[in-house]
């Protein structure tokens, strides 16, 4: 089969043999190396963001001040103000080459959505007309009928509204010379129900702010503070594969993961890739990605190789959670968009390759006042130290009480391959605190402040509560939820996931704990609080919390069998997969929690549960169908060709008067294997065809019947891969995919 002219390497390779794909790969690499290299230009930092600096320059003083009050203090925005802001935004966008604008939002698909309208149109008299004013800035009405709503909105009632989120700066996207003004928005139905991931996130941030402020008031540390915000620094792991090879793998193309692939002799066992030097092609790609992200104001900072061959990480400096979530979506989109320019394909899937490390999105989370004080940063002074311990214990309590909900917040078909698979955090949610903090927590429980000096850092002398070293330096990669000095790192989040939902859950469960703590302390100290009263009240409350919830603390090896047994003994939930985890969203406990903090109504929560289950069913069904078609149209034909070769060799030998029982046996075994593949594939086809009107029942069927049938097909196909002649194997192998990259 002929290769195309190389402009789009690989697009004609869908049925090419492995060797043709490899040839195209080296060709495209050659072309890329000749022409690539990101050009750094001066002044690209945040050049495409309508941020505070630009607004200050372009808005009248009082308009700017009022807008800042909306952004920072949550004050409502008046229509006249919106008109002025819209005019300035439009002028700025057009000056920068924009022709269109879009309300940019995060529907429940987990992706972002946009519908473009032009900023100016010809007026028919030789001039231009613009309809972009305050009302177009503040709200839009995209046809929402095709977005999943989980039954919240019947398709015939297609109206959905987008509402400007002024706290997340508008930005420009550039694609082949087309510049578009993107306005971050929330997306709600005509009844006001949230149809997106951002609305509940913003509500959860309000909830936690309100409760955290009560705690600060008790400690008298609220002076000058008007809000407590949550911060997020998401680290994104991803794989890069050669784009031509990607096109030769229908499974990567359709499912973003390999459904077949025998393990190569060299995987990650040498651990020579982690933090290794970055190849020229990959570095050029990363620099290009960073340049684009900087233009849009995304503060990416770190880049390095990850554990598996072909795996990388990109991490930003943390920001306010809703902005960080928007930026996280831009990071994922930019990785995908830029890779083809470098002859690469970015795979964000949690588990593109079996037997090789998967990808996560480490969710670094903290709480901070709007004056910049990190509330999870231990301080020198005993007083604020006590406040730190209150926030710490609030997190411990929340994670223990709602471990099931946290687990559900990261459940997906793709993350199932990672969690609990002995190389990623287990599906059991526990907290890593490190020895030092655990020791302090123990002391809170016994009420005795021992003088435990570790590394000379603890001073428990005359103080009523222990001194805590600012950086204990402990690390534990096996924990799903780790305290890392001044923040928590939720490591079980999946790499393809939007950060918005797990953070919505985190904020809400911790808001509930802060509410519980504030209520108890307010009662204990009464109308005339004194320092002594507060200390006593805090001490006895924290003691109670630690007693009740310390079972969730675990500093050991989360990957070990022993931990699974120990966790079961402690009564910690172990929701092994999506099908076990998602029903948590339907429990009364979950419904009450979200309702109480006005984050999600019962209907809104149910709609999410529906959407997630449906997505699970669809995703695995697509995988199963892709698998069947790859067996039938690629693997079986190649295996039969190989079988013919073997048979011809055996009969040629017999014709020549040589009888080889061993070769005959090889042929017989091979034929058996091919028969086995046919049978297993037929079995998979049968279970995949099963349909159930009830999505959760269908999901259970997928778990108990479809996934095992897929595993059975794969086992035989992977065995065949090790036997079929390499020139006949119809697709690039793991070795090709993992090690060929510029
Ligand atoms: P690691 O060793 O886990 O890679 P880093 O220090 O590089 O740790 O930080 C990882 C991420 O944590 C970065 O995105 C960083 O901005 C973020 N981070 C640091 N402090 C905070 C905080 N207070 N709140 C949220 N995220 C934070
Ligand atoms: Mg980290």
Q: For residue range 665-705, list pLDDT tens digits in order.
A: 999 999 999 999 999 999 999 999 999 999 999 999 999 99
pLDDT at position 577 is 94
Atom of ligand 1 nearest to the CA of 302: 7
- pLDDT for residue 438 is more than 90: no
- Split at pLDDT 50, 70, 90, the class of 15 is very low
Range name among 145-154, 311-320, 492-501, 609-618 with the lowest pLDDT average = 145-154
**Mean pLDDT on 511-534:** 92
Atom of ligand 1 nearest to the CA of 313: 4
Give the rounded percent of residues in the chain with a pLDDT score beyond 70. 85
What confidence tens digit (pLDDT) does each residue in 209-223 have?
A: 999 999 999 999 999
What confidence tens digit (pLDDT) does each residue in 327-346 have?
A: 999 999 999 999 999 999 99
- Split at pLDDT 50, 70, 90, the class of 604 is very high
pLDDT at position 25 is 63
Atom of ligand 1 nearest to the CA of 318: 16
- Ligand 1 centre to CA of 230 (Å) is 13
- Split at pLDDT 50, 70, 90, the class of 157 is low
Range name among 132-136, 395-399, 454-458, 663-667 with the lowest pLDDT average = 454-458
- Split at pLDDT 50, 70, 90, the class of 4 is very low
**Mean pLDDT on 425-432:** 88
Neighbours of 174 (CB within 10 A): 15
For residue 161, the SS3 value is: strand
pLDDT at position 474 is 57
- Split at pLDDT 50, 70, 90, the class of 271 is low
- Ligand 2 centre to CA of 235 (Å) is 7
- Split at pLDDT 50, 70, 90, the class of 391 is very high
Ligand 1 proximity of 313 Cβ (cutoff 6 Å) = no
Ligand closest to Cα of 491 equals 2
What confidence tens digit (pLDDT) does each residue in 275-289 have?
A: 566 788 899 999 999
Q: Which residue has the higher pLDDT, 1 or 443?
A: 443
- Split at pLDDT 50, 70, 90, the class of 435 is confident
pLDDT at position 354 is 92
pLDDT at position 80 is 87
- Ligand 2 centre to CA of 695 (Å) is 36
Range name among 19-28, 349-358, 390-399, 465-474 with the lowest pLDDT average = 465-474
Atom of ligand 1 nearest to the CA of 366: 24
Range name among 53-62, 182-191, 495-504 with the lowest pLDDT average = 182-191
Tell me how far apart the alpha carbons of residues 505 and 342 are, in angstroms, rounded to a whole number: 38
Ligand closest to Cα of 302 equals 1
Ligand 1 proximity of 305 Cβ (cutoff 6 Å) = no
Q: Tell the burial category of 272 from Cβ atoms under 10 Å away from its Cβ (0-12, 13-18, 19+).
A: exposed
**Mean pLDDT on 345-354:** 96
Pocket test for ligand 1, best of 236, 328, 364, 376 (most atoms within 8 A of CB): 364
pLDDT at position 330 is 96
Q: Tell the burial category of 126 from Cβ atoms under 10 Å away from its Cβ (0-12, 13-18, 19+).
A: exposed
- Ligand 2 centre to CA of 84 (Å) is 42
The CA-atom distances, in angstroms, between 347 and each of 55, 174, 256 are 37, 22, 6
- Split at pLDDT 50, 70, 90, the class of 442 is confident
Q: By C-alpha distance, which of 455, 461, 464 is closest to 389?
A: 464
User: How far from chain centre, in Å, is Cα 38?
Assistant: 27
pLDDT at position 543 is 93
Q: Name the residue with the closest Cα to ligand 1, atom 4.
A: 235
- pLDDT for residue 638 is more than 80: yes
Tell me how far apart the alpha carbons of residues 81 and 64 are, in angstroms, rounded to a whole number: 9
**Cβ 244 vs Cβ 32: under 8 Å:** no
Ligand closest to Cα of 304 equals 1
Most confident of 10-19, 69-78, 295-304, 468-477: 295-304
How many residues would you count in the chain?
Answer: 742
pLDDT at position 31 is 43
- Split at pLDDT 50, 70, 90, the class of 382 is low
Q: By C-alpha distance, which of 719, 710, 712 is closest to 642?
A: 719
User: How far from chain centre, in Å, is Cα 66?
Assistant: 34
- pLDDT for residue 579 is more than 70: yes
Ligand 1 proximity of 364 Cβ (cutoff 6 Å) = yes
Ligand 1 proximity of 231 Cβ (cutoff 6 Å) = yes
Ligand 1 proximity of 374 Cβ (cutoff 6 Å) = yes
Residues whose CB is less than 8 angstroms from the CB of residue 198 and which lie 6 or more positions away in sequence, other chains included: 105, 106, 165, 184, 185, 186, 187, 322, 325, 326, 500
């Amino acid at each position: 089969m002929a290769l195309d002219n190389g402009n789009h390497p690989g697009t004609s390779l869908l049925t090419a043999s492995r060797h043709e794909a490899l040839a195209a790969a080296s060709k495209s690499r050659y072309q890329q190396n000749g022409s690539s290299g990101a050009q750094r230009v001066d002044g690209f930092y945040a050049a495409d963001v309508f941020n505070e600096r630009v607004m200050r320059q372009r808005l009248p003083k009082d308009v700017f001040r009022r807008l800042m009050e909306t952004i920072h203090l949550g004050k409502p925005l008046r229509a006249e103000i919106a008109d002025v802001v819209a005019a300035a935004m439009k002028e700025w966008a057009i000056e920068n080459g924009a022709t269109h604008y879009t309300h940019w939002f995060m529907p429940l698909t987990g992706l972002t959505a946009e519908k473009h309208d032009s900023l100016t149109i010809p007026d028919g008299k030789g001039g231009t007309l613009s309809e972009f004013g305050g009302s177009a800035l503040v709200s839009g009405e995209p046809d929402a009928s095709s977005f999943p709503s989980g039954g919240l909105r019947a398709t015939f009632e297609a109206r959905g509204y987008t509402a400007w989120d002024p706290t997340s700066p508008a930005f420009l996207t550039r694609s082949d010379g087309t510049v578009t003004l993107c306005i971050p928005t929330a997306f709600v139905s005509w009844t006001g129900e949230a149809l997106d991931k951002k609305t509940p996130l913003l509500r959860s941030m309000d909830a936690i702010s309100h409760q955290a402020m009560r705690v600060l008031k008790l400690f008298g540390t609220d002076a000058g503070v008007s809000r407590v915000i949550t911060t997020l620094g998401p680290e994104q792991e991803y794989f890069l594969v050669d784009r031509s090879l990607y096109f030769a793998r229908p499974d990567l193309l359709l499912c973003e993961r390999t459904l077949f692939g025998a393990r190569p002799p060299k995987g990650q066992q040498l651990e020579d890739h982690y933090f290794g030097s970055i190849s020229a092609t990959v570095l050029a790609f990363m620099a290009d990605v960073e340049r684009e992200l900087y233009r849009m104001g995304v503060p990416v900072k770190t880049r390095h190789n990850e554990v598996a061959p072909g795996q990388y990480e990109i991490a930003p400096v943390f920001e306010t959670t809703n902005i960080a979530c928007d930026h996280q979506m831009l990071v994922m989109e930019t990785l995908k968009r830029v890779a083809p320019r470098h002859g690469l394909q970015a795979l964000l899937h949690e588990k593109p390759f079996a037997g090789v490390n998967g990808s996560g999105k480490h969710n670094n989370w903290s709480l901070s006042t709007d004056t910049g004080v990190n509330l999870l940063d231990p301080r020198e002074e005993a007083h604020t130290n006590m406040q730190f311990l209150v926030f710490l214990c609030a997190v411990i309590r929340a994670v223990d009480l709602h471990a099931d909900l946290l687990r559900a917040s990261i459940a997906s078909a793709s993350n199932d391959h990672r969690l609990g698979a002995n190389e990623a955090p287990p599906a059991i949610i526990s907290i890593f605190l490190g020895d030092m903090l655990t020791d302090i927590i123990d002391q809170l429980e016994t009420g005795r402040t021992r003088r435990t000096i570790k590394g000379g850092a603890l001073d428990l002398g005359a103080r009523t509560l222990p001194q805590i070293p600012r950086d204990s330096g402990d690390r534990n990669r096996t924990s799903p939820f780790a305290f890392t000095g001044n923040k928590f790192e939720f490591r079980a989040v999946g790499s393809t996931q939007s950060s918005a939902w797990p953070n919505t859950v985190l904020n809400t469960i911790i808001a509930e704990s802060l509410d519980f703590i504030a209520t108890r302390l307010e009662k204990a100290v009464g109308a005339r609080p004194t320092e002594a009263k507060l200390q006593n009240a805090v001490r006895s409350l924290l003691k109670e919390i630690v007693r009740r919830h310390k079972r969730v603390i675990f500093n050991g090896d989360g990957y070990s069998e022993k931990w699974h047994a120990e966790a079961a003994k402690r009564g910690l939930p172990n929701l092994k997969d999506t099908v076990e985890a998602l029903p948590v969203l339907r429990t009364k406990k979950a419904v009450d929690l979200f309702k109480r903090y006005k984050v999600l109504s019962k209907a809104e929560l149910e709609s999410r549960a529906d959407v997630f289950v449906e997505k699970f069913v669809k995703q695995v069904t697509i995988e199963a169908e892709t698998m069947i078609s790859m067996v039938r149209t690629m693997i079986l034909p190649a295996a039969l060709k190989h079988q013919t070769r073997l048979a011809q060799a055996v009969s040629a030998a017999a014709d020549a008067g040589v009888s080889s029982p061993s070769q005959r046996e090889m042929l017989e075994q091979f034929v058996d294997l091919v028969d086995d593949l046919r049978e297993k594939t037929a079995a998979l086809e049968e279970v995949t065809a099963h349909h159930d009107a009830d999505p959760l029942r269908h999901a259970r069927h997928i778990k108990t019947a479809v996934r095992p049938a897929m595993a059975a097909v794969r086992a035989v196909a992977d065995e065949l891969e090790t036997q079929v002649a390499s020139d006949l194997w119809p697709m690039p192998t793991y070795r090709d995919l993992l090690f060929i990259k510029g």
